Amino acid sequence: MLARDDRAAARAACEAMFALNGAYNQAHMLMARVMMPGKNYAAILSRLHQHLQPAGYAEIGVATGASMALAGAETRCVGIDPCPRVTANIAARARLYPLTSDDFFARYNLAEELSGERLDLAFIDGLHLFEQALKDFINLEKHSHPGTVVMIHDCYPPTELSAARDRVMAYWAGDVWRMIPLLIKYRPDLDVKVIPALPSGLGLVTGLDAGSSVLEERFDDIVAEFMALDYSQLDERREELLPALANDWQAILERLPG
């Protein structure tokens, strides 16, 4: 069906499968493919590394190192993950910290661990809960400069079950999507978009301000407010809450800092 580009039929097939088994992993993944045609997140990250050639790169959530392996040999990388299981061939000058991101930022100064290189690109892909992604963003932004690009994985969950805070299926995005409307509301100075890229969407945040303290100061209130934003709102207001940027390199390029 997707080969014939018949997305309406594929969506109907997903709905039929959900009626039989709401937690059928393959059906949720098919829905993701219906909603997110185009390049996947790794292809976009790879283009970003090639284009930006970041001096410094920080990655929260390393796992096998597949995304860190996209960094170029000259990039100084900091990878943070409490349970890394790296099998990928990482060419970059990388240091790996087997810690949660909170522990890392409590113990280390990111700028020093980057050996003084500027944080040009960061990828948040750790714990799939929005309050953790928010902490990660706050901590990264303190080390940012106006040209820093922050990518946030899992911001475009295609189905309610894939966005559950507790993992139900192998395919899981969690509720990191709440980061997008949250940043749009509380940080109108940022440029915030979502690229609908498989498997679960990539947030793109630019215009960072290392001196901003709004998110930290209002952290508890913001988390309470956005915890109350139900996934059902995405059914009615997806484009308003998760403004999509076309999954197209030219469109992405135009959003990047000059």
| Interface with ligand SAM, residue 200, by CB under 6 A | no
Considering the complex, state which of residue 10 and residue 45 has its C-beta at the smaller distance from ligand SAM.
Answer: 45
Distance CA 79, CA 98 (A): 8
CA 231 to chain centre: 18
| Interface with ligand SAM, residue 181, by CB under 6 A | no
* Residue 258, both tokens: 């000059």
Of the candidates 127, 140, 183, 242, which one interacts with ligand SAM according to CB under 6 A? 127
Considering the complex, state which of residue 14 and residue 126 has its C-beta at the smaller distance from ligand SAM.
Answer: 126
Contacts of 223 (CB under 8 A, 6+ apart): 130, 131, 134
Distance CA 70, CA 93 (A): 12
CB of 11 to ligand SAM, least distance (A): 26
Number of residues that bind ligand SAM (CB under 6 A): 17
Q: Which of residues 62-101 bind ligand SAM (CB under 6 A)?
A: 62-64, 66-67, 80-83, 100-101
Measured CA to CA in angstroms, residue 119 lies from 59, 133, 146, 148, 193 at distances of 11, 18, 10, 6, 20
Q: Which of 66, 28, 20 is nearest to 171 (CA)?
A: 28
Distance CA 158, CA 55 (A): 34
Coil, strand or helix at 150: strand
Of the candidates 61, 158, 196, 203, which one interacts with ligand SAM according to CB under 6 A? 61
Considering the complex, state which of residue 40 and residue 206 has its C-beta at the smaller distance from ligand SAM.
Answer: 40
Query: Residue 195: phi, psi to the nearest 5?
Result: -95, 115
CB of 252 to ligand SAM, least distance (A): 18
Considering the complex, state which of residue 10 and residue 163 has its C-beta at the smaller distance from ligand SAM.
Answer: 163
Contact range with ligand SAM by CB under 6 A, out of 124-132, 199-207, 218-226, 232-240: 124-132
Considering the complex, state which of residue 10 and residue 78 has its C-beta at the smaller distance from ligand SAM.
Answer: 78
| Interface with ligand SAM, residue 125, by CB under 6 A | yes
Contact range with ligand SAM by CB under 6 A, out of 15-23, 108-116, 119-127, 189-197: 119-127
Considering the complex, state which of residue 98 and residue 146 has its C-beta at the smaller distance from ligand SAM.
Answer: 98
DSSP structure string for 205-230: EES--TT--HHHHTHHHHHHHHHTS-
DSSP structure string for 57-70: EEEE--TTSTTGGG
Site residues (vs ligand SAM, CB under 6 A): 60-64, 66-67, 80-83, 100-101, 125-127, 132
